[in-house]
Amino acid sequence: MNPIDPPIPSNRKTIVVTMAIVTLLAAIAFGTRPAYRLVRATRANRLAAEAEVAIQKQAWPEAQEKAQAAYHLDPTSANVTRVVARLYTIAGHPNAADFWRQLLQSGKATVEDRREFVRAGLRSGRSADVRDEAFHLGNDPAGQPDDVRLAAEFCLLTGDRTNALRFSRALMKLDAGPVSELILAKALLVSGEAAAQSQARAALQRLASGTNSIALDAEVVLARSGLVSDEAMPALIEKISTHPDRRLPHRLLAEELRLRIRPQDRAATVSSFVNEVSGNALTNRIEVARWLNRQREFARTTNLIVAPEAITNRDAFLVRVDALAGLADWKQARAELETENAPIEPVLREVYLARTARELNRTPEAEAHWRRAQLELGAHPEALMYVADYAERVGETDEARKAYDRLASLPEYSDQAYAGLIRIAENNGGTRTLREIMRDLSARRPDDAAPLNDFAYLNLLLNERLDSSKATAQKLYEEKPNVLAFRTTLALAHLRLNEIPEARSMYDGMDLDWSQIKPGWQAVHAAVVAATGQTNLARTLVRQIPAERLKPEEKLLIQPWL
């Protein structure tokens, strides 16, 4: 059973900026009279400056109050927008990137503001929104090391291996040194080439030989690289555990590595570590408890953070409820969720109570909690995204679909929402449901070839709208004849219309290992081969296809040869 997973912890940093700051997004309109505007702008800039001072002093309530007042007075001021963006960034709020973007659009952004925009997008999982700015910075002819470094790190975090290597090498030319060497080593490591990985390992071992912070970073990269033998790992674990700059995450990594290389000592290793940290401050124990939950050591979490203590802290409460779910102790989880003044948002409380009710076979009660949760969600996109993902993971597909449907209308969340709807339809909804999703998606994105092709393919599978789907497939194939997805759809169109030679021609000149191709595409290919009279070859091809991964209509294509 999947435990109840808490959302991203709110105390990752040592500050708390309340959600009231979200009201800044709906700031009142700026005044119309010139003199009035000048007075408001002057006061707004003064408040923004005071908010900056409060930020420096870490006086967060004061900073928030002054920033909010400044934004209400003049939401067009670059100084005001900058301080609001900074507060959102410090709070780890996903809307931080929106304020940095607003500042960029004002034409008054500094280079550092542009960098903060990229960083904010990466932190909030909105890399697609900031990709262009990251590349503009990295490709700037002036070639500032900080900008090239940020572009390289962006590509590493987003899995763009080719550009990660390109920017890393450019960085080495601009600013050779340990930091740049480490970034290049990371890029070489993920390149997928044996020679590059060997070069990366040598660089990382050299960087790890010191005692500075770069050495610690190199040790961590090495430990996670898979390039260190079990024989050499104990020495690396010791270096990470005893490095003068180590922090709790390094210690957790070291313990995880110990469990990996000495699984037979698991109980003693975990017990010793938990005993060592049991007297630590609550914030540290919460981090350890999350680690224990990842190791599925749920009982140790409930001992490390007991109920009376958990009720005083949101993150402690959530990590403990997560552990109770991992133990399938649904009665205790329910009791603690129903505790008066439980430190949890109403919507999460309803979602988790719905889960416990479902596990306790109290279906009407579970449905009531889900109804209240959906009402509580309103139009808050971050909460919708969390609940949609959570509901999908625990098998509440109807509730997940409701949340994804609402998210699909929000441009910045539509990609994630449609991806979720497609996953649900693939697993539970049937071909017609999936076809309707693709119809909506292709209408929203008429210039995106992928949903257009998928919509045509699903129409053809259902043996409907044959002529229009064939026209779409023909157009996409003519634009990109080397894309197998487009060839497959057009082949299916010809097959449905009994144009067998044309269907077979879609595979001319293609030398593919069909066992590595998507099962549905294999089925179309096998059906085309069979239609040409090559029944023995068709049977051989069909035997390679994992039939359990086919849609019903794909399975029908090859039914005679199964």
pLDDT exceeds cutoff 70 at 534: yes
Give the per-residue pLDDT at 9.
36
Give the per-residue pLDDT at 32.
45
pLDDT digits 0-9 by tens, 345-377? 888 999 999 999 999 999 999 999 999 998 888
What are the extents of the domains in the chain? 1-125, 445-561
Mean pLDDT of 512-540: 90
How many beta carbons lie within 10 A of that of residue 462, not counting itself?
A: 16
**Which of the four CATH numbers 2.40.50, 1.10.1740, 1.25.40, 1.10.3470 does domain 445-561 have?**
1.25.40
**Confidence class for position 436, pLDDT limits 50, 70, 90:** confident
**Confidence class for position 379, pLDDT limits 50, 70, 90:** low
pLDDT exceeds cutoff 50 at 15: no
Give the per-residue pLDDT at 508.
87
Percent of the chain's residues with pLDDT above 90 = 55
Distances (CA, A) of 369 to 295, 345, 454: 30, 14, 36
CB 208 within 8 A of CB 215: yes
Distances (CA, A) of 326 to 54, 64, 330, 395, 449: 42, 38, 9, 16, 42
Q: Is the pTM for the entire model greater than 0.85?
A: no
Q: Could you name the CATH architecture of 1-125?
A: Alpha Horseshoe (1.25)
pLDDT digits 0-9 by tens, 198-246? 999 999 999 998 888 999 999 999 999 888 888 999 999 999 999 999 9
Using the Cα atoms of residue 431, residue 432, residue 437 and residue 442 in order, give the sign of their dihedral.
positive
Q: Do domains 1-125 and 445-561 have the same CATH topology?
A: yes
pLDDT digits 0-9 by tens, 29-84? 344 456 666 778 888 889 889 988 988 888 888 988 988 888 888 888 999 999 99
pLDDT digits 0-9 by tens, 116-172? 999 998 887 778 888 999 999 999 888 799 999 999 999 998 888 899 999 999 999
**Confidence class for position 26, pLDDT limits 50, 70, 90:** very low
Q: Choose the weakest-confidence range: 173-182, 252-261, 428-437.
A: 428-437
Closest residue by Cα to residue 120 from 140, 99, 151: 99
Between CA 76 and CA 72 the distance in angstroms is 10
